Amino acid sequence: MLCKPLLKATIKQNYIVFILILSILMLYLPIIITMYDPATQESLNQVLDMMPKGLIAAMGFSDIGASLVEFIGSYFYGFLILLLPMIYTIIICNRCIASHVDKGSMAYLLSTPNTRGKIAKTQAFFIILSTTIMIGIITLVGIILSNSYFPDLLDLKSFLLLNLGALLLYFAVTGIGFFASCQFNDTKNSLMLGAGLPVVFLVIQMISDVGDKTRFLKYFTLFSLYDTDKIIKGETYIPQFIALISIAVIMYSLAIYQFKKRDLPL
């Protein structure tokens, strides 16, 4: 089903950027968690009240709640989780297919008894697996750190849902990136869609958070489907999660279908 030598080579090709991005995330996560102080939470909110509301909101720091999960939810899952792993997924999505086609090394992969479908599925598997591992490590470290600094303060269910949502969001984002990678002949076009669209979504997300006048923009970004406030408060999140999964399934299937079908300039 999968092409093991290729999977091995792809892991070897990408583990450094994986570790790099994960390290930056691991740098932020403990800082943010240790910053939480139930007592000073009130005063922090007062400080934030003095800053321009739009600016704070754009960074996803709005409505900093009193509980630990709300605190992590707005500081870490409001913005950092949208930006840093996205850099990783943009790089690997492009590298997995488009870069091989662009450089011509795909000719070597396809001159072996492996079908296009098998090669594309192997690369898709790598993207999904490595993204899951990244979010998984964040989840695990988040739980361990929270419990060692603030025993019994973390709302585990909300925290897990927060991470599940992030993971599903990344399935959808990498779906777009992987489709772009399979669809285009060169890195330039692959990145235009595969990196451009998620970045535009992120910017729209930031602008739509600024105030009521720009609120309507949330209908133009995929990231609206990942609403940390609603997840923590236990409001509706299941339809959003289903939407994200559907987007992921559609984009990955379309990507593999396109890659099997299209002409390759090798």
Partner 1 sequence: MSIIEIDKLTKDYGDNKGIFDLTFEVKEGEVFGYLGPNGAGKTTTIRHLMGFLTPDKGSSQILGMDSRTRSAHIMKDLGYLPGEIAFFDGMKGFEFLNFMSEMKGLTDTSLRDKLVDMFQLDTRGKIRKMSKGMKQKIGIVCAFMHNPKVLILDEPTSGLDPLMQKTFTDLILEEKSKGKTILMSSHSFEEIERTCDRVAIIRQGQLVALENIHDLRKKRRKTYLVSFDSPSSAVEFKSSGNFHILDVNENTVKLSITGNITELIKALDGYNVIDLDTEKSSLEDIFMHYYSNCPN
- What burial class does residue 205 get, using C-beta atoms within 10 Å of its C-beta: 0-12 exposed, 13-18 middle, 19+ buried? buried
From 51-59, 97-105, 196-204, 217-225, span contacting partner 1 (CB under 8 A): 97-105
Q: Does 108 bind partner 1 (CB under 8 A)?
A: yes
Note whether 258 binds partner 1 by CB under 8 A.
no
Among 75, 118, 207, 252, binds partner 1 (CB under 8 A): 118
- Residue closest to 2 by CA, chosen among 94, 118, 86, 120: 118
Could you say whether residue 156 binds partner 1 (CB under 8 A)? Answer: no
Instruction: Tell me how crowded residue 31 is: count the other CB atoms within 10 A of its CB.
Output: 11
Question: Toward partner 1, which CB reaches closer, 185 or 214?
Answer: 185
Residue 1 in contact with partner 1, rule: CB under 8 A: no
Q: Is 236 exposed, middle or buried (0-12, 13-18, 19+ CB in 10 A)?
A: exposed
Per rule CB under 8 A, is residue 110 in the interface with partner 1? Answer: yes
Q: Which of 5, 30, 38, 136 binds partner 1 (CB under 8 A)?
A: 5
What is the closest distance, in whole angstroms, from the C-beta atom of residue 60 to partner 1 in the complex?
Answer: 35
Helix 68-75 × helix 116-149 angle, to 10°: 140
Q: What contacts 105, CB < 8 A, 6 or more positions away? A: none
105 binds partner 1 (CB under 8 A): yes
Choose which of 35, 42, 103, 236 interacts with partner 1 (CB under 8 A). Answer: 103
State the minimum distance, in angstroms, from the CB of residue 9 to partner 1. 6
Contacts with 74 (C-beta within 8 Å, 6 or more apart), sequence order:
60, 61, 62, 63, 64, 65, 228
Minimum CB distance to partner 1 smaller for 27 or for 264: 264
Does residue 213 belong to the site contacting partner 1 (CB under 8 A)?
no
Tell me the angle at which helices 81-96 and 187-194 cross, rounded to the nearest 10 degrees: 150
DSSP H stretches of helix in 184-237: 187-194, 196-210, 228-233
Q: Is the dihedral of CA 105, 111, 113, 114 positive or negative?
A: positive
Q: Which candidate, 197, 190, 205, places its Cα nearest to that of 81?
A: 205
Query: Residue 123 half-sphere exposure, CB side, CA atoms within 13 Å?
Result: 32
192 binds partner 1 (CB under 8 A): no
With contact defined as beta carbons under 8 Å apart, do 165 and 65 qualify? no
| CA distances from residue 195 to 42, 63, 239 in whole angstroms, order as listed | 39, 29, 26
Beta carbon nearer to partner 1, 105 or 236:
105
Q: Which of 107, 129, 144, 242 is the binder for partner 1 (CB under 8 A)?
A: 107
Which is nearer to partner 1, 108 or 220 (by Cβ)?
Answer: 108
Q: Looking at 15, 43, 83, 104, which residue binds partner 1 (CB under 8 A)?
A: 104
188 binds partner 1 (CB under 8 A): no
Q: Closest CB to partner 1 among 70 and 102?
A: 102
With contacts defined by CB under 8 A, name the span among 39-47, 104-112, 135-143, 241-249 that binds partner 1. Answer: 104-112
Interface contacts to partner 1, rule CB under 8 A: 3-6, 8-9, 13, 103-105, 107-115, 118, 261, 263-266
